[in-house]
Amino acid sequence: MFISTAAPDGPVGRQLTWFLRAVADLPWSQQLIQAHFDSGFLAQIGPAEINAVLAQAPAPAGASLIRLLWQDQARDPVSLQAVAAFGSVMVTVNVTVNGAGLISYLLLTPYQPPPATWAQADRDLAGLAPHASLLAARVSPDGVCTPVHQVAASTARPLGSMFKLFVLGGLAGQVAAGRVSWDQELTVSDMLRSAGNSGAGGLQDVPAGTRVSVEQTAAQMISMSDNTAADLLIHLVGRPAVQAQDRQWSDHVALNVPS
């Protein structure tokens, strides 16, 4: 986890800084909202709804950044997660920007402090999902992954959106081989549009014909579990490349083969 007390100098950092200051001046005009949010986001959450939601967490002096929990400038420069104080209320802020620097995803949730010990983490996990597995690992600068804590880590569980790591691995392999470029553009189409990403502002919301870079698509898939982004990348690299990555990384390959 990357922790900082300052917003990064970049489009997503500047939007976070604007947002935290601007909540002191609600309600926002439609013109102001359109200047900071992209059309896909606004197609799902209009200006009136944005103002109504933010009015529930009043911050007459503006919200203040407590700390930045996560942002990877090198791998994902368009997304970040921060903790902010809206008066006396602590909130986790997740924000993503599009290629033009406009907010394409914004999610506010009550801040939940991380557990202080692994024992507390295990109790929290059991309370949320008694039949669950956990593997926490430390990755060294040279890429060595060393487990530091486990709960039934070898027990096979339903994969869910973790399959997107196989998509990302297949994509990275083709980029390394020179068959795909991070700057290459993909076109969103109705055929490859999938509902069910984790929040408004995903590629499912943009008009057909919208072009996005491979890098931005991968960032959307990983940062917000965007299903349309995943489908675009699977179409690009091909199902065999994803299945090959599964065979390379998974300990339960047979269980991941569709029946």
Render pLDDT for 90-125 as a digit per residue (tens, 0 to 9).
Answer: 999 988 888 889 998 888 888 988 889 999 999 999
The CATH number given to whatever domain includes residue 40 is 3.10.450.50
Q: Is residue 4 a part of any domain in this protein?
A: no
Question: 29 and 106 in one domain?
Answer: yes
Question: 220 and 199 in one domain?
Answer: yes
Q: Is residue 256 a part of any domain in this protein?
A: no
Say what the pLDDT of residue 17 is: 94
Question: 133 and 98 in one domain?
Answer: no
What value does the mean pLDDT take over residues 71-100? 81
pLDDT(172) > 70: yes
Rounded to an integer, what distance in angstroms lies between the CA atom of residue 115 and that of residue 117?
Answer: 6
Contact 164/204 with Cβ under 8 angstroms? no
Give me the number of domains the chain comprises: 3
pLDDT(157) > 90: no
Rounded to an integer, what distance in angstroms lies between the CA atom of residue 58 and that of residue 65?
Answer: 15
Question: 76 and 51 in one domain?
Answer: yes
Say what the pLDDT of residue 81 is: 87
Q: Is residue 231 a part of any domain in this protein?
A: yes
What value does the mean pLDDT take over residues 131-156? 90
Name, in order, each residue with C-beta under 8 angstroms of 225's C-beta and a sequence gap of 6 or more: 161, 164, 197, 198
pLDDT(188) > 60: yes
Q: Is residue 221 a part of any domain in this protein?
A: yes
Q: Is residue 252 a part of any domain in this protein?
A: no
Q: Is residue 26 a part of any domain in this protein?
A: yes
Secondary element (H or E) of residue 85: strand 76-86
Render pLDDT for 17-27 as a digit per residue (tens, 0 to 9).
Answer: 999 999 999 99
Which has more confidence, 10 or 71?
10
pLDDT(1) > 60: no
| Among candidate residues 50, 82, 110, the one where a domain is terminated | 110
When pLDDT is cut at 50, 70 and 90, the band that residue 147 belongs to is very high
What value does the mean pLDDT take over residues 159-171? 92
The domain in which residue 35 lies consists of: 11-110
